[in-house]
Chain A
Amino acid sequence: MEIDPGRVLDSLPAMVWTARPDGHIDFANRRWSDYTGLSADEAHGWEWQAAVNPQDLPTVLERWRSILASGEPGEMEARVRRFDGQYRWFLVQCNPLHGDAGHIIKWCGVATDVEDSRRAEDTLRARDVEARVVLDNIPTLVSLLTPTGTPELINRQILDYTGKTEEDLERWSGSDLVHPDDRPHAVESFKKGINSGDPFDIVYRMRRFDGAYRWFEARHRPLKDADGRVVRWCVSVNDIDERKRAEEALRESERYAKSIVDSIPGMIAAFTPDGELEFVNRQVIEFFGKTFEELKRWETSDMTHPEDLSRAVEYFTQSIASGEPFEDEVRARRFDGVYRWFQSRGFPLRDANGRIVRWYNLLIDIDERKRAEEALTARERNLNEIINTIPVLAWSARPDGSAEFFNQHYLHYVGASIGQSKDWLPATALSEYWDLTAAVHPADVDGLTAAWEAILASGQSGEAEARLRRFDGIYRWFLVRANPLRDEAGNIIKWYGVSIDIDDRKRAEEALRESERNFKLIINTIPGLVWSARPDGSAEFFNQHYLDYVGLSADQAQGWGWAVTVHPDDLGGLTATWQAIMASGKPGEAEARLRHLDGAYRWLLFRASPLRDASGNIVKWYGVNTDIDDRKRAEEALRESERNLKVMIDTIPALVWAASPESTTEFVSHHYLDYLGLPPERPQDWRWANYVHPDDLAGLTSWWRAGLASGKPGEAEARVRRSDGEYRWLLLRVNPLRDEHGNIVKWYGVDTDIDDRKRAETDLAREKHLLEMIASGSPLRDVLGALCEMVEEAGPGCYCDVHPIDWSGPSIEYSVAPSLPASYTDPIAGLSLNGDALPCAIAVRQKVQVVAEDMDTDPRWRHSSVRTHVLEHGLRSVWSTPIYAKDGRVLGTLCLYQRQPASPSPQHQSLIAHAAHLASIAIERSRTEAALRRSETMLAEGQQLSSTGSFSWRVDTDEVAFSEELCRIFEFDSNAVVTLEQVLARVHPEDVPLLSEQMARVRAGHGYLGYEIRLRMPDDRVKYLRTFGRVVRHQDGRVECLAAVQDVTERRVADEALNKARSELAHVARVTSLGALTASIAHEVNQPLSGIITNASTCLRMLAANPPNIDVAQETARRTIRDGNRAADVIARLRALFSKRTPRIEPIDLNEAAREVIALFWGDLQRSRVVLHTELADGLPLVGGDRIQLQQVIINLLRNGADAMSGVNNRPRRLLISTDLDEDHQIRLSIQDTGIGFGPDGIERLFEAFYTTKNDGMGIGLSVSRSIIEQHHGRLWAVANDGSGATFSFSIPEYIREENPLHETGILGELVESKSENSAGIS
């Protein structure tokens, strides 16, 4: 069957086409149409171009044309559009079909869909790019190789490093990439590695872009597939250049070290860190003559001296274990069997991390030194032995000062062993140089240390002293000497020392010093000022006393320093004397003042003595200064006193003279000359007789002659004319001065001016006369007249006039002037003192002295009539002086007149003052007497008018003086002397005991109590008298009782009448107020009644119960009885209150009364929770009074107290009832509470109000209580306590039989009166 080639071609699963030789497509199979969706026709010719991707078409056309032109098979790739519009890659392969002629007759082509493979390729490519990017960015050199070793990928780092292209690198084995020295090995290794298929590394130097080679390590690692075939090689190339170089350097250094080690003259061995011998240098081998292997076993060989081996092994082992270096000296055996000394030092070699990598042991030959040392030691041993035998304390020390050796003696001395002396510790303190310094005396350690250090520092021989303690504890002084031992080079290699016992010497020295000290002590103890000086006079020594005296230190006083303490005025003299003494070379003395420490200068006697040596030269001056101050001062004082005496005699205001035994005047004191008005130059010219009052001359002359004759001291009075011409009285006193033989050598006289005294005597006599006149009650005019005479006598030329003043005017009452005529004095009496017409008027009113020197010319009185009056009587000057009373009032004036113009001299003024004073006394006394007389008269009148008399009773003499009125009251004759007996006879017999009692009181020294007393007249009339008075104790001890006595008979009678009336009234009032009281009574009674009934009811019920409750019934019955009694008490008390009766005065024991009240009141107090205490005094006198009333008062006070405490809960409610005797011998009862008390102004008010408690019955008011007590002549008062509460007290007098009757109106009247004010008296 013929097969259509077209159908065959159509069935091929590829696009097949044919073309003509010119390229014109003439056939395309079905696959084309199917794929492109185009018809076969559309593929013909050049139509197919439409199916090709326009982007690829130009390439396709060009390729197609080039294939056509070449006539060779060809292929191309292009994207062809599928029917759905999608382009897919196709590989188009074209083959020419040659005709028989060989020419191309047709082109056949196949287009294969390569889209999928193309896509995979793209992906792969993309991957490769990605891998490359990654590798390029890895900071190391990386490449990938094919399984055969061809570079497939070379990263950028490699390219950068080498500066070559990938192509270059592919041919690396032939290039200069690898260092020529390394290339053969590298190429060889590479080939071998690739073939092996196993990982391999190659180290080689790789050329850098700049031509430098660096070491790299190329690490090849195969990448294998599942079958284990190598699919790729990964190569990383690492720069190991630095490592390589370090290794190289190490190798180099080791090489170098080895060469050094080998060349070191010492022996060196190296060990592994665990101690195995690793290496020895040449010298070791040569020295020991052993093989390395033999040397390895050194620990067990004889290479080390047997004596040293075990120690060497031990040191070595320890160091290996600890890592610490070791050092030792060992003997090593040389190849020839000789041992030599080596210093063996081992030390570790450590790497950077501190790990030990090797031990080195260095052996240095010290044999020579060692032997030298041994020889030295041997020598030293010998030396020590020698030294030990030396009988001194010897020692040696190292250059640093540390002790090395002490000889046997030393150790023996201190009692120490050799071992102790060796154990020194290097340090600086001596105590640590030598432990033996424990033996140095503590006080010397510092000194010795310093000395030793100084010696060490100087490097020179030296010595020091110190005490060393002997084994037995005794310290002895040693001289320690040290000497340095030097080597050839001059270096100190050792110190040798000896300690020499110098104790005896030291003790001798000490003793010497001690004795010197003692001597100094003695000198210092001498209580004189001791000194010594050098031959040149400069001071050398002062004892302590001297230094203390002047307050200088020894240094300050040295030389001439002491001179500052010499008084400046004396220094020159002292220095000169001292020079003279020194020049003389003999002992001498001088006086000078020396300043004491306190700054005062005192006189001292300086005594100096020379000390000479054997050849007679002065070596020293010794001196002692003695205090002669007192003597000097005495001398000076004597001189001074002599000087002063003359001055004094001239200065004292005494008239002194001296006369020869022959009565020649030798001396008249300056003052005397002044007195006489003589010039001082010529006292001898005085003729004393010229100055003596002629009346006295004869007497004086004879007295003087008698005195001269007798030779006895004497005195006389005479008037001597003063320089002013006045004769004055002098008292002349003379005294003879006798020599040792008793002969009179001189008369001394002192004349004293006694004129004032004489005058005073005269004045006094007159004054005395005047005062006598005043005292004796002479008439005032007489007294004043005598006064004027006295004034005129004392003041020659004066006329005196005294004017008492009548102040009613005022006017001059009269004038007393005995020396002036009546024509002068009479007109003066009655002159008015108003106005300024009289000098006296001014003096009186202005209280000044008025001086009119000359009435004639004084303008003040030119127009006054007094001027004429004065002048008419020949008077010119008038001095008027006021006379004052003690209280300053002006009593009068004292006028002095003179017949010539004059003003008062001081003597006049003194006289005036004196006279005015006397006048004052006289006038005042006169006036007082007048007033007294008047007052006496008035008193008498007053007494009469008031029926009050008075008396004085001299307690000691019982003298009685009655006033006139009292005589009248007693109906005595007023002129008769009243006696006590008369008085007692008049007193009512019943009251005589009272009077006697009162008199006894006064005699016993008590005060005077006012009292009432009755008189019974002879005709049986009774007078009631009330007395008041007091006891006067006079200064002379007299006791006088002064009293006023009032006749109260009329008042008493009236009072009694009134009381009687009031009593009646009271009873009426009480009855009328009974209604009001009934309610209160009912209350009081209803309380117990209520209890009674209730109790009785209960009792019945108890008894009626079945069974009867007997216990409670009995209890209620008892209570019934008690309440019944209570009611009865109330009634009894009320009855007492309401019965009209006269209070009964009876003697009452107040304690007993109080006890009864307490018993009555006890229950109430208990109910009020009040604790009652009693302090009732024993032996109290009885009181007189009404028992019931007093008990009422006590109840009232108790109740007040209890009530005052009803609100008190914070302290005990305590009542204290006490009785005692008070200061006035009255019996006192007090009730003290701890209640609320009362304010300061509340005390008295308490007694005003009618005081009751709110709710209680039987109390009566405080005012009533007070009335009761006052009726009993007592008093009731209240005081606030120091603490809380108040105390109410009353005191009443002791009972005296027939005492003043109490009047029956007393208390009850008061009670009723109070009732009318306050109806709550009984509640």
Chain B
Amino acid sequence: MNVTVPLVSVVDDDESVRESLPDLLRAFGFSAKAFASAEEFLASDIVGRTRCLILDVSMPGMTGPDLQRELERRGLPIPIVFITAHRDDTVRPRLLAQGAVECLFKPFSEAALQEAINIALSEP
């Protein structure tokens, strides 16, 4: 049994998300790390250690789906929970079809987030 605390990374260009979400994740019992862009995340040294990625859909530069594809290309199948402020019902099925664990619309509840992360972490 793995006793280390799973690392959940947050990538969102919205600062309030970056400020608030890691605290909540830590309250869940994970260790958490926030990045303002996909590029910043990719450049960090924790890509390989990230067990679950909470990822904003639309960001300047590399978008969430862009990052998802890049991780696939690199052979890093990190479970992804997308979050977005656009409540576009066509977006969610598309992202799930592409392999996302979940797609949460902002604002989302703490329970929804926790459930999504749990699913993500339970994936092989």
A residues within 8 Å of B by Cβ?
Answer: 1079, 1082-1083, 1086-1095, 1097-1098, 1101-1102, 1105, 1112, 1115-1116, 1119, 1122-1123, 1126, 1167, 1206, 1254-1255
- With A1087-B16, A1090-B17, A1254-B60 known as contacts, the answer to whether A1116 contacts B109 (CB < 8 A) is no
In addition to A1086-B85, A1123-B16, 19 A-B residue pairs with Cβ atoms within 8 Å of each other are A1079-B87, A1082-B86, A1082-B87, A1086-B87, A1087-B14, A1091-B14, A1092-B107, A1094-B17, A1094-B20, A1094-B21, A1094-B107, A1095-B19, A1097-B24, A1098-B24, A1102-B23, A1115-B23, A1119-B16, A1119-B19, A1206-B61
Q: How far apart are B20's CB and chain A's nearest CB, in angstroms?
A: 4
Beta-carbon contact of B107 and A1086 below 8 Å: yes
Whole-angstrom distance between the alpha carbons of A1097 and B15 in the complex? 17
Which residues of A lie under 8 Å from residue B85 when comparing CB positions?
Answer: 1082-1083, 1086-1087, 1090
Which residues of A lie under 8 Å from residue B14 when comparing CB positions?
Answer: 1087, 1090-1091
7 A-B residue pairs with Cβ-Cβ distance under 8 Å, sorted by A, are A1082-B85, A1082-B86, A1083-B85, A1093-B109, A1098-B20, A1098-B24, A1126-B16
**Which residue from A1079, A1090, A1105, A1254 sits with its C-beta under 8 Å from B16?**
A1090
Which residues of A lie under 8 Å from residue B105 when comparing CB positions?
Answer: 1086
Beta-carbon contact of A1101 and B24 below 8 Å: yes
Q: How far apart are A282's CB and chain B's nearest CB, in angstroms?
A: 124
Does residue B106 face the partner (Cβ distance < 8 Å to A)?
yes
Which residues of B lie under 8 Å from residue A1097 when comparing CB positions?
Answer: 24, 27, 109-110
Does residue B58 face the partner (Cβ distance < 8 Å to A)?
yes
**Which residue from A1079, A1091, A1101 sits with its C-beta under 8 Å from B19?**
A1091
What 1/0 flags go to B77-99 for Cβ under 8 Å of A? 00000010111100000000000
Whole-angstrom distance between the alpha carbons of A1308 and B59 in the complex? 30
Beta-carbon contact of A1093 and B107 below 8 Å: yes
Whole-angstrom distance between the alpha carbons of A1093 and B111 in the complex? 11
What 1/0 flags go to B106-117 for Cβ under 8 Å of A? 111110000000
Whole-angstrom distance between the alpha carbons of A1089 and B27 in the complex? 20
- Considering only residues 1-49 of chain B, those with a C-beta below 8 Å from chain A are 13-17, 19-21, 23-24, 27
Which residues of A lie under 8 Å from residue B23 when comparing CB positions?
Answer: 1095, 1098, 1102, 1112, 1115-1116
Beta-carbon contact of B20 and A1095 below 8 Å: yes
Which chain B residue has the least Cβ–Cβ distance from A1099? B23
Whole-angstrom distance between the alpha carbons of A1319 and B90 in the complex? 19
Q: How far apart are A1199's CB and chain B's nearest CB, in angstroms?
A: 13
Which chain A residue has the least Cβ–Cβ distance from B24? A1098
Which chain B residue has the least Cβ–Cβ distance from A1101? B27
Which chain B residue has the least Cβ–Cβ distance from A1088? B16
Q: How far apart are B122's CB and chain A's nearest CB, in angstroms?
A: 22
Which chain A residue has the least Cβ–Cβ distance from B110? A1097
Whole-angstrom distance between the alpha carbons of A856 and B85 in the complex? 111
Whole-angstrom distance between the alpha carbons of A1115 and B87 in the complex? 28
Q: How far apart are A1226's CB and chain B's nearest CB, in angstroms?
A: 36
Which residues of A lie under 8 Å from residue B107 when comparing CB positions?
Answer: 1086, 1089-1094
Whole-angstrom distance between the alpha carbons of A1115 and B21 in the complex? 13
- Residue in A1082, A1087, A1095, A1105 whose Cβ sees the most chain B Cβ within 10 Å: A1087
Q: How far apart are B109's CB and chain A's nearest CB, in angstroms?
A: 7
Whole-angstrom distance between the alpha carbons of A680 and B97 in the complex? 132
Whole-angstrom distance between the alpha carbons of A554 and B78 in the complex? 115
Whole-angstrom distance between the alpha carbons of A1091 and B59 in the complex? 17
Which chain B residue has the least Cβ–Cβ distance from A1104? B27
Whole-angstrom distance between the alpha carbons of A1097 and B83 in the complex? 17
Whole-angstrom distance between the alpha carbons of A1255 and B58 in the complex? 8
Whole-angstrom distance between the alpha carbons of A50 and B13 in the complex? 146
Which residues of A lie under 8 Å from residue B13 when comparing CB positions?
Answer: 1255
Which chain B residue has the least Cβ–Cβ distance from A1092? B107
Which residues of A lie under 8 Å from residue B59 when comparing CB positions?
Answer: 1255
Q: How far apart are A425's CB and chain B's nearest CB, in angstroms?
A: 94
Q: How far apart are A843's CB and chain B's nearest CB, in angstroms?
A: 84
Whole-angstrom distance between the alpha carbons of A432 and B109 in the complex? 122
Beta-carbon contact of B24 and A1089 below 8 Å: no
Which chain B residue has the least Cβ–Cβ distance from A1123? B16
Which chain A residue has the least Cβ–Cβ distance from B58? A1255
Beta-carbon contact of A1167 and B20 below 8 Å: no
Which residues of A lie under 8 Å from residue B27 when comparing CB positions?
Answer: 1097-1098, 1101-1102, 1105
Whole-angstrom distance between the alpha carbons of A1105 and B26 in the complex? 12
Whole-angstrom distance between the alpha carbons of A1079 and B59 in the complex? 17
Whole-angstrom distance between the alpha carbons of A1169 and B77 in the complex? 32
Q: How far apart are A1162's CB and chain B's nearest CB, in angstroms?
A: 13
Beta-carbon contact of A1167 and B15 below 8 Å: yes
Whole-angstrom distance between the alpha carbons of A1102 and B28 in the complex? 10
Which residues of B lie under 8 Å from residue A1088 when comparing CB positions?
Answer: 16
Beta-carbon contact of B86 and A1090 below 8 Å: no
Q: How far apart are A82's CB and chain B's nearest CB, in angstroms?
A: 115
Whole-angstrom distance between the alpha carbons of A1116 and B24 in the complex? 10
Which residues of B lie under 8 Å from residue A1093 when comparing CB positions?
Answer: 107-110
Which chain B residue has the least Cβ–Cβ distance from A1112? B23
Whole-angstrom distance between the alpha carbons of A1083 and B84 in the complex? 9
Which residues of A lie under 8 Å from residue B17 when comparing CB positions?
Answer: 1087, 1090-1091, 1094
Beta-carbon contact of B106 and A1087 below 8 Å: yes
Whole-angstrom distance between the alpha carbons of A1093 and B59 in the complex? 21
Whole-angstrom distance between the alpha carbons of A1254 and B61 in the complex? 10
Whole-angstrom distance between the alpha carbons of A1101 and B25 in the complex? 11
Which residues of B lie under 8 Å from residue A1122 when comparing CB positions?
Answer: 16
Which chain B residue has the least Cβ–Cβ distance from A1089? B107
Beta-carbon contact of A1086 and B106 below 8 Å: yes
- With A1086-B85, A1092-B107, A1094-B107 known as contacts, the answer to whether A1206 contacts B19 (CB < 8 A) is no
Which residues of A lie under 8 Å from residue B15 when comparing CB positions?
Answer: 1167
Which residues of B lie under 8 Å from residue A1079 when comparing CB positions?
Answer: 86-88
Which chain B residue has the least Cβ–Cβ distance from A1120? B20
- Considering only residues 36-73 of chain B, those with a C-beta below 8 Å from chain A are 58-61
Q: How far apart are B65's CB and chain A's nearest CB, in angstroms?
A: 14
Which chain A residue has the least Cβ–Cβ distance from B22? A1098
Beta-carbon contact of B87 and A1119 below 8 Å: no
**Which residue from B20, B58, B86, B87 sits with its C-beta under 8 Å from A1091?**
B20
Which chain A residue has the least Cβ–Cβ distance from B28? A1101
Which residues of B lie under 8 Å from residue A1082 when comparing CB positions?
Answer: 85-87
Q: How far apart are B63's CB and chain A's nearest CB, in angstroms?
A: 10
Whole-angstrom distance between the alpha carbons of A1094 and B111 in the complex? 11
Whole-angstrom distance between the alpha carbons of A1097 and B23 in the complex? 10
Beta-carbon contact of B106 and A1089 below 8 Å: yes
Q: How far apart are B64's CB and chain A's nearest CB, in angstroms?
A: 12
Which chain B residue has the least Cβ–Cβ distance from A1083? B85
Beta-carbon contact of B109 and A1091 below 8 Å: no
Which residues of A lie under 8 Å from residue B60 when comparing CB positions?
Answer: 1206, 1254-1255
Which residues of A lie under 8 Å from residue B20 when comparing CB positions?
Answer: 1091, 1094-1095, 1098, 1116, 1119
Whole-angstrom distance between the alpha carbons of A27 and B110 in the complex? 162
Whole-angstrom distance between the alpha carbons of A1254 and B87 in the complex? 17
- Residue in B15, B17, B27, B58 whose Cβ sees the most chain A Cβ within 10 Å: B27
Which residues of B lie under 8 Å from residue A1102 when comparing CB positions?
Answer: 23, 27
- Residue in A1083, A1090, A1126 whose Cβ sees the most chain B Cβ within 10 Å: A1090
Which residues of A lie under 8 Å from residue B61 when comparing CB positions?
Answer: 1206
Q: How far apart are B56's CB and chain A's nearest CB, in angstroms?
A: 10
Whole-angstrom distance between the alpha carbons of A824 and B6 in the complex? 126
Which residues of A lie under 8 Å from residue B87 when comparing CB positions?
Answer: 1079, 1082, 1086
Q: How far apart are B38's CB and chain A's nearest CB, in angstroms?
A: 13
- With A1091-B20, A1095-B20, A1102-B27 known as contacts, the answer to whether A1083 contacts B108 (CB < 8 A) is no
Which residues of A lie under 8 Å from residue B86 when comparing CB positions?
Answer: 1079, 1082-1083
Which residues of A lie under 8 Å from residue B106 when comparing CB positions?
Answer: 1086-1087, 1089-1090
